[in-house]
Amino acid sequence: MATLDEIGEQDDWMCWLCDKPVDPDASVNDGRGPSVDSRITKKKAKKKVREMPERLAHRDCNTGKGNSEAVVAWADHLFVVDPAVILTTVDRLAKKNGREAVGRCPTRDDAEEAGAWLLDRLQRLEPTVTFETAIEPGGGQFLLLLKT
Ligand SMILES: [Zn+2]
């Protein structure tokens, strides 16, 4: 098992769930302090989908400390209709390459902004997988696709 410091270095002292910095010097008993999250949600614990690496999380964000399900939120400023559940989509694509729609946007600019945000977010969420986005117009909207 890796130490807290090693996992902190690996994740650049950013919380894998809320994507905000974790203070390495904060007390591990502090809610905003560092903790190691085994990255296993209830569903995955039952199914044992794939080996989940340990990740750095704030103590309050850690899924092993009372929060039952890990949730990675879309940023508030994005305009995405029917946004996909990020973790579920990413886990599926990481397991089996392919492409999936992750949301619909009213304009191409919205889709490009959401796609750029998502790729940046995924660099930290799933650093071992290379993702790409694509935008497909249709029905007066723009479909945002995530590909591996
Ligand atoms: Zn956090």
Handedness of CA 137, 141, 144, 145 (dihedral sign): negative
CA of 14 to the centre of ligand 1 (A): 8
Give the strands of the sheet with 132-138, arranged side by side: 99-105, 141-147, 132-138
Assess contact for 135 and 144: CB atoms under 8 A: yes
**pLDDT tens for residues 122-148?**
999 998 899 999 999 998 999 999 999
Q: What is the mean pLDDT of residues 13-24?
A: 95
- What pLDDT does residue 65 have? 59
Centre of ligand 1 from the C-alpha of residue 137, in Å: 35
The whole-number pLDDT of residue 54 equals 86
Q: Are β-strands 55-58 and 99-105 bridged in parallel, bridged antiparallel, or unpaired?
A: unpaired
**Centroid of ligand 1 to alpha carbon of 105 (angstroms):** 27
Task: Dump pLDDT digits (tens) for 108-124.
Answer: 999 999 999 999 999 99
